[in-house]
Structure 1
Amino acid sequence: MLRRWFSALLFLPLTLGLASCQPEPPQSAGDTAPQSAQIAIIPDDPDPALWVLKDEDTTIYLFGTVHILKPGLSWFDEAVKDAFDASDELVIEMIEPEPAEMMKIVNEMAIDTTGVPLRDKLTPEDREKYEAAMTSLNIPVNAFDPLDPWFASVSMSLVPLMQSGYDTNSGVEDALNSHAKARNMKIVGLETPRQQLGFFDNLPEDVQIRFLNFNVDSIGEMADGMENMVAHWANANIGALAELMNAGLEEKILYETLLSNRNANWAAWVEERMKQPGTVFMAVGAGHLAGDDSLQAMLKKRDLKVKRIKY
């Protein structure tokens, strides 16, 4: 179960925008619905977006991932597979630790130490909504009481997706890791497990609670919203992904902690890596490659030119 929780953590920044994926009421004549509000269809032949930056002796491919998918989606082909096969190094957000190590980290960072049950931290109205959401998911209402609000939110958001057929073992990183290990490729993690958990654990408790309340209010829309988000990813609809990301990260601290600051750090890593020869396949959450503060935008500020590969 810890692995499933951690996989949820990895894709969670994108789920923040799922509520905005849902169809909106008909608009007046002449109005255009936001891309994220339009219903997208997952194609039979997904072609997610792919970028490249290169100099005389270094090539880095940038590929946006979805950390949890339904089994059977065929995206690892054509330009994506060609780029991967040409690479000698795989770079991902985080290398997953062994279960025992993961358990230790979770116990240290995700379990509440104040002795105050989670539900007692909620207002009466929010507690009622929270308990109703837990009941709708067939989870005992006290199941997450020992957890910090952010980790309860992660855990809750994963359940309706798994009930709808999503599999934490079918994410893009799982496939890439498997292919990389089969080829004995070097695998590099941009962040450590403690860092990734820390992004959430270090949020003020009131922000964590608002984060939880958002997911409670969105729980009935999670599965359909995720389906729409995967469709936008599969269709390389970068504008829609950017809208989803921005819709969920309206609080400055969330936007900076989960998106822009990390993109800036990764841009610095890419700039340094460009000084070494080789070919790198860099795969990070698709939301990080969309919007005004995308990784590509951060790289442009460093005078590194990224080109979209059309296929």
Structure 2
Amino acid sequence: MKKISVSLLSLALLTSGFSSVHAAEKASTVWLNGEQIQFSNSTSIVEKGVTLVPMRPLLEKLGVKVNWNGAAHTVNGTKNGLSLSLKIGIANATVNGKTVKLGVSPKQVRDVTYVPLRFIAETAGYQVAWNQSSRQISLTSKQQTEGSRGYLWKVEHKGNTVYLLGSLHYVLEGMYPLSPEIENALKAADYLGVEVDLSKVTPEELQKLVLELGVYKDGTTLKDHISAETYKKVTALLKENGMSVNSFDHFKPWFVQQNVLGIIAGKEGYQSDIGIDQYLIDNANKAKKPVVALETIDSQFQTNNNYSDALQEKLLLQTLDPSAGVTLAPDGGIDTFAKMWREGDDNALNAYINSSDWDAEYHKALLTDRNGEMADKIKDYLNGDKKETYLVVVGMLHVLGDEGVVPLLKMEGYKVERQ
């Protein structure tokens, strides 16, 4: 994952729309501060909209000391001044001596005791979040939530407000919820702004763009435009993943690269359908907040299609084989970027973007040109006459550096405050 990290951060919205690999719907998983809780061979149960999970693994992971009374069918738990008691088949619990009504009662299934997940987690002091697209339940301690800073700025002008968030397009499960500052920015926003809202792109539009910009029309094929060595790596990856070795023959290297990226990232556990952009889009849609786009799917296709043949092959080769020695951007793995994001490390991100190790063509097309257009869109929002609030989300590589959106706004005289 080392050499494909920039593509993961900057181009993942495209792969999420047309990747040739489709994941099957997964069972719900439960994560505690970014670590998955394992329930052995047991799975969660949903009853009347309430999720129940095996008692002992949950309570032990939450640091609750468990005492099971088999004769009375009662669960007792204690933790730092907290005491709680539940009984199988009874829809009431006792918390520090007070009776609390439960949505559903605890139960036993094949000698496994199941308890209501949200009640237990919130009683033990954890926040609970549900992500529909990833079927993921996240339990987050207050300390963990406050420690995940991210890259968030606030700009105010003429009664309008823009919150600017630098995001990760691909993440591992266990990312959510986001910090309160980010969640509150979404709540305050009248609009959510993203690079591209793929939910508004129809399959017909996408297919038309692929045929126009991603496919060779002159009778040549992929092997005519890349080296024999690179083509051999393409067919090897396809074979390894159970696909026909000529699956990509009619497509241009930039399009093949993004599909390859989707395959590799998915195998590593990184997913765009639970990326920060998509998470915020899902929540904006639930809250019936309009989602607006700073770019179009056509413009993103055009950016990739306009790469020189040499750059297209370099991108494809470094994605297929990180050890190939291709240098398009400074070293940095996706884990490194995730750590930067959690810590909100401006210095580290600035140093990466301003590094001299970039391929000049790649940097200009990927960042410089697009950053200016993004900044212009944000200025339009700030200069409107309706006094509205926006949360604008772009890839984290677009926000800083000498030519990033934040410094571009500052050069125009806007006061940009780090949150």
TM-score range (shorter-chain normalised) is 0.7 to 0.9
| Alignment correspondent of 2:404 | 294
CA shift digits 1:248-282 (9 cap, x unpaired): 98222221211111111121222222112211111
Post-superposition offset of 1:148:
0.6
With normalisation by structure 2, the TM-score equals 0.59
Find out whether 1:65 has 2:167 as its counterpart: yes
Q: Is the 8 A contact 1:12 1:154 kept in 2?
A: no
Look up the match of 1:208: 312
Larger deviation, residues 120-129 vs 294-303:
120-129
Cα deviation for residue 95 of structure 1 reads 1.9
- The TM-score, its normalising length taken from structure 1, stands at 0.78
Deviation at 1:209, TM superposition (A): 1.5
Question: Which residue does the alignment assign to 2:151?
Answer: 49
Judged with a 3 Å threshold, the aligned counterparts in structure 2 of structure 1 residues 219 and 95 are, in CA distance, closer, same or farther, namely farther
Alignment partner of 1:153 is 2:257: yes
**Contact 1:150–1:208 under 8 Å retained in 2:** yes
Q: Specify which of 293, 298, 309 is matched with residue 194 of structure 1.
A: 298
Tell which deviates more after alignment, 161-170 or 82-91.
161-170
Equivalent position of 2:83 in the other structure: none
Aligned-residue Cα RMSD (Å) equals: 2.9
Question: What is the distance in 2 between the residues matched to 1:115 and 1:75?
Answer: 49
Q: Secondary structure at the match of 1:169?
A: coil
Secondary structure at the counterpart of residue 108 of structure 1:
helix
Q: Distance in 2 between matches of 1:90 and 1:101?
A: 23
Match of 1:172 among 276, 281, 284: 276
Deviation track 1:88-129 (CA, whole Å, cap 9, x = no partner) reads 111111121122322222222112223222123222343344
Match of 2:163, as an amino acid? Y
Give the Å deviation of 1:137: 5.1
* Residues 65-99 of structure 1: CA deviation (Å, up to 9, x unaligned): 11122223124231111111111111111121122
User: How much does 1:163 deviate?
Assistant: 1.0
Contact 1:133 1:219 in 2 (8 A): no
Q: 1:77 to 1:131 in 2, by over 3 A?
A: same
What amino acid is aligned across from residue 286 of structure 1 in structure 2? M
Higher alpha-carbon Rg: 2
Count of residues in Structure 1 that have an aligned counterpart in Structure 2: 274
Q: 1:255 maps to what in 2?
A: 363
Letter in 2 for 1:236: G
Aligned partners of 2:356 and 2:395: how far apart in 1? 15
Write the distance in 2 (CA, Å) between the matches of 1:126 and 1:286. 30
- State the match for 1:265 in structure 2: 373
Q: Which residue of 1 aligns with 2:390?
A: 280
Task: Summarize the alignment of residues 1-311 of structure 1 with structure 2, pairs less than 5 Å apart.
Answer: 11-13=9-11, 44-45=144-145, 46-96=148-198, 97-135=201-239, 139-218=243-322, 225-245=333-353, 250-276=358-384, 277-309=387-419
**2:411 corresponds to which letter in structure 1?**
K
Which has more helix, going by share of residues?
1
Residues 160, 388 of structure 2: 8 Å contact kept: yes
CA distance in structure 2 between the aligned counterparts of 1:249 and 1:269, rounded to whole angstroms: 29
TM-fit CA distance, 1:225? 2.3
- Post-superposition shift, 1:136? 5.1
On the 8 A contact 1:249/1:255 being kept in 2, the answer is no
User: Higher RCO, 1 or 2 (CA under 8 Å, sep at least 6)?
Assistant: 1
- In the TM superposition, residue 306 of structure 1 has moved relative to its aligned partner by 1.0
Gaps of 5+ in 1: 1-7, 15-40
Q: Is the 8 A contact 2:151 2:167 kept in 1?
A: no
Q: Distance in 2 between matches of 1:248 and 1:146?
A: 35
Aligned letter for 2:166?
G
* 2:149–2:342 contact (8 Å) kept in structure 1: yes
